A and B are shown apart, each in its own frame.
Chain A
Amino acid sequence: MSPLLELKNLGVTYRTGSGEIEAVRDVHLRLEPGDTLGVAGESGSGKSTVAMSVLRLLPKSARVSGEILLDGEDVTTMRWGRLRAVRWAEASIVFQGAMHALNPVRRIGAQIAEPIRLHAEKPLSEAEVGARVADLLDQVDLPVARAGAYPHELSGGQKQRVMIAMALACRPRLIIADEPTTALDVIVQAQVLDLVSRLVAEQRLGLVMISHDLSVLAATCARIAVMYQGEVVEEGPGKELMAAPKHEHTRALAAAFPTVGDPVSRFAPATSTPLPPEPETPPAPDVLLAARDLRVSYGTLHAVAGVDLEVRRNEIVALVGQSGSGKTTLARTLLGLQKPTSGQVLFEGTPLTARGLKAYRRQVQLVLQDPASALNPRHTVYEAVAEGPRIHGLPGDERQIVIDALESAELRPAERFLSRLPHELSGGQRQRVVIAGALALRPSVLVADEPVASLDASVRGEILGLLLRLRRELGLAGLVITHDLGLAWNIADRVAVMYRGELVEVGTVEEVLLTPAHDYTKALLAALPGATEPAEK
């Protein structure tokens, strides 16, 4: 019996204005019926290109070489009619970010029904199609009444369920899932992954899942292939690969998602310049930044509902929660970017006033999630870093201030970066420029909103290491907002868990993550892919 999917010597090149770019080369992969395969890699590793090539959905500028055998039949040489018949009926796709993959102006019931009608061998009656749609929605645990909904009326998790229902519509033998849970919160992600695993096992489906997150793949797939710069660098059973990664890049990917509770990764994010062990000095007792019964409401929505939080000198606090928990609103309010409805923000015991805002901003600085958009694309590195000192009229040689800040952010030699534009830098370098821009004001607290969420796994550890070193060397305190418990485990001293506008649990990292008290914290920990139940102590 031939394998369900076999890629032989697959290569894909894109023609662009500036020559040809080889996105994928020399890829051999094999999937038996009912088998599950995970493809891991960072952005630009070619993993999505591989996924799209299976149904020949690559843009016109792509040239494919090698063979793509779907059930023994080569997709690359199929005629259009045959290809259309194969699409969705034999292999279907769960796209990344269901938000955009669903047609915004058609009801989801109609979108699920579309391939059913299209691939039916004989014309189906309305009732038959309706029954099938209801059955599919039921399989993905959505109420049948939701068939009349439009995509925007559904939550992110529900949309992803719709995508899965749609993928199952024609009973294909292979499902390709391209980053199916990337935009989702941890708890929803766990639910969706459970659902996929259950359906794949029940219906004996073949599954190819693409992700940048090794732990997600390890939780769902029997085998994992790791891609790096267009090539498969390592392939093997998921458990083995996670336990003993051979290739350097696999190790970087694995380290990016540390296991909470693993003492090896405590205060030790994966970085090429290892940190010396943390000194056993407890954080100083003086409070730098504090929130007192802070509330922010938009109409009837209470984004921040009475928060008390302190950040002390020489301390990193992680504020953990999922999207919609109010953590970003809290951060913006602490920075004076959002007016609180009631309550106070205090710096060194002094309440923040509109008059004192500018002086306050020299002390409390911001690092944003996506460095690509946090820098004005028209400003050079020099201008970006000098922006703060110029606004505040800082005394001293501007050039020296800029160079010092860049050196502190470990962009060395600083002179080489001064005249670069953001688009000429890598993601990690850009984030360092953003950090340097904040450091140029010599602040005492950094508020970092998901500082590594949009960075590749291998860069993540470097930036986290930088934050730790800045604390050690400059005594810089940090408030790191994140959805990622592993990040908190990596660098934070204390954790505050936010749920529906309130802090439900605050304490040291060990207390909160190893012996959680609140149900919500427990739920978050349980939802970590591959995580065992929180250690009972």
Chain B
Amino acid sequence: MTAAIVWQRRRAAAAGVWREFAANRGGLAGLVILAVIVLLAVLAPVITDPSGLDVTNAPGRPLQPPSGRFPLGTDIDGRSVLLLTLWGARVSLLVGFAATILSVLIGTIVGIAAGHFGRWVAGILLRLTDFFLVLPSLVLAIALSTVLPQGIATIILAVGVTSWPTTARLVRAQTLTIESRPYIERAKALGGGHLHIVGKHVLPGVLPLVLANTTLVVGNSIIAESTLSFLGLGDPSAVSWGSMLQRALSSGAVTGGAWWYLLPPGLAIVVIVLCFTLVGRALETVVNPRLKGHS
């Protein structure tokens, strides 16, 4: 029966969080748009014909302006920009999510460890975090992608291992805040060990913040992916928004004034990153009531 009480509590709490989140119009709009984009990306193979992506089998002439047949015009190879943008979402989202998971995982573990264990463990981890925090992450990612074989996995790794320090810092700060609360002292006095303190008090206290932070990291990861692809470090066989823009510049389409080739992938990045940012900020306000009215 106590399990039922706990369960009921959790549900009520979730409903409360949702109500608070939904009160933030920006966050709600972001969430809806994101859902639509993710749905489109997942359904791309169903609602479109992937054969149009084949360079050798392009349906149109190169760099056609928007028309009835190609609502967003064609690229340098004569493929539909609309189709490319739709399929590009798949790679961008995949890399964004995967890199975020990697980064948040490392960051959370390092952050909690650095906050919970004192002295030399924290010393070493903090030194390491600060080191990676100040390293220009793009330069490091460039270096990594140059020396590792080209491909999506490399990009995920490069983005993931360079973006964790901010999460680690944040989680450590939150861990320290929680650890300074008297209820941790009480749990210790009750006889709780490290596992109990971290598992029952620290982790549940840190997770909401991590969740809010995660949505912000996804946005950054998507930008990082597009930047690396733009610099020609992406998977040459996969269509992503970054690689589309790279082609647009290197083929001279931009200087030629082919705005329809440039706008869709770029706008797609802006919209998706903005949505993640809005959702993340809305979640932050829910998680951290001190911020209420700040966003």
Secondary structure call for the B interface = helix
**CB < 8 Å neighbour of B5 from A357, A362, A376, A380:** A380
Q: If A373-B181, A391-B191 touch, does A437 touch B6 (CB 8 Å cutoff)?
A: no
**Is B191 in contact with A366, judged by CB distance below 8 angstroms?**
no
Chain B contributes a number of interface residues (CB within 8 A of A) equal to 21
CA distance A438 to B189 in the complex (A): 9
Residue ranges of A at the interface with B (Cβ–Cβ < 8 Å): 335, 337, 357-358, 361-362, 365-366, 368-370, 373-376, 378, 380, 382-383, 387-388, 391-392, 399, 418-419, 421, 434, 437-438, 441
Q: What chain B residues lie within 8 Å of A421 (beta carbons)?
A: 9
Distance in Å: Cβ of B19 to nearest Cβ of chain A: 12
Q: If A376-B201, A419-B9 touch, does A369 touch B2 (CB 8 Å cutoff)?
A: no
Distance in Å: Cβ of B5 to nearest Cβ of chain A: 5
**Is B189 in contact with A366, judged by CB distance below 8 angstroms?**
yes
**Is A366 in contact with B192, judged by CB distance below 8 angstroms?**
no
CA distance A387 to B201 in the complex (A): 11
CA distance A434 to B8 in the complex (A): 24
**B46 interface hit (Cβ, 8 Å):** no
**Is A373 in contact with B191, judged by CB distance below 8 angstroms?**
no
Q: Which residue of A has the minimal Cβ distance to B181? A: A373
Q: Which 5 A-B pairs have the closest CB atoms?
A: A366-B189, A361-B191, A388-B190, A374-B182, A419-B5
Q: Which residue of B has the minimal Cβ distance to A373? A: B182
Q: What chain A residues lie within 8 Å of B201 (beta carbons)?
A: 376
Report which residue of A361, A370, A378 has the largest number of chain B beta carbons within 10 angstroms of its beta carbon: A378
**CB < 8 Å neighbour of A361 from B185, B189, B204:** B189
Q: What chain B residues lie within 8 Å of A437 (beta carbons)?
A: 186, 190
Instruction: Given contact pairs A335-B189, A376-B200, A387-B190, enumerate 8 new A-B contacts (beta carbons under 8 Å).
Output: A366-B186, A370-B182, A374-B182, A375-B186, A376-B181, A380-B9, A387-B187, A437-B190
Report which residue of B8, B182, B183 has the largest number of chain A beta carbons within 10 angstroms of its beta carbon: B183
**B61 interface hit (Cβ, 8 Å):** no
**Is B188 in contact with A358, judged by CB distance below 8 angstroms?**
no
**Is A378 in contact with B205, judged by CB distance below 8 angstroms?**
yes
**Is B9 in contact with A362, judged by CB distance below 8 angstroms?**
no
Q: Which residue of B has the minimal Cβ distance to A375? A: B183
**Is A368 in contact with B185, judged by CB distance below 8 angstroms?**
yes
CA distance A388 to B182 in the complex (A): 15
Q: What chain A residues lie within 8 Å of B192 (beta carbons)?
A: 387, 391
**B196 interface hit (Cβ, 8 Å):** yes
Distance in Å: Cβ of A39 to nearest Cβ of chain B: 30
Distance in Å: Cβ of A353 to nearest Cβ of chain B: 15
Distance in Å: Cβ of B14 to nearest Cβ of chain A: 13
CA distance A180 to B5 in the complex (A): 45
Give B31-80 interface residues, CB cut-off 8 Å to A: none
Q: If A387-B200, A391-B192 touch, does A418 touch B2 (CB 8 Å cutoff)?
A: yes
Distance in Å: Cβ of B142 to nearest Cβ of chain A: 40
CA distance A337 to B189 in the complex (A): 7
**CB < 8 Å neighbour of B188 from A337, A383, A418:** A337
**Is B183 in contact with A441, judged by CB distance below 8 angstroms?**
no
**CB < 8 Å neighbour of A391 from B9, B182, B196:** B196
Q: What chain A residues lie within 8 Å of B182 (beta carbons)?
A: 368-370, 373-374
Q: If A337-B185, A370-B182 touch, does A441 touch B5 (CB 8 Å cutoff)?
A: no
Distance in Å: Cβ of A437 to nearest Cβ of chain B: 7
Q: What chain A residues lie within 8 Å of B181 (beta carbons)?
A: 373, 376
Q: What chain A residues lie within 8 Å of B186 (beta carbons)?
A: 366, 368, 374-375, 434, 437
Distance in Å: Cβ of A108 to nearest Cβ of chain B: 28
**CB < 8 Å neighbour of A399 from B2, B9, B190, B196:** B2
Q: What chain B residues lie within 8 Å of A375 (beta carbons)?
A: 183, 186
**Is A392 in contact with B191, judged by CB distance below 8 angstroms?**
yes
| Sample of 23 A–B contacts (CB below 8 Å) | A337-B188, A358-B191, A365-B190, A366-B189, A368-B182, A370-B182, A373-B181, A373-B182, A374-B185, A376-B200, A376-B201, A378-B205, A380-B6, A383-B6, A387-B192, A387-B200, A388-B191, A418-B5, A419-B9, A421-B9, A434-B186, A437-B186, A438-B190
CA distance A434 to B181 in the complex (A): 14
Give a binary string over B195-211; 1 marks a CB under 8 Å from any A CB, 0 the rest.
01000110011000000
Give B187-246 interface residues, CB cut-off 8 Å to A: 187-192, 196, 200-201, 204-205
Q: What chain A residues lie within 8 Å of B205 (beta carbons)?
A: 376, 378
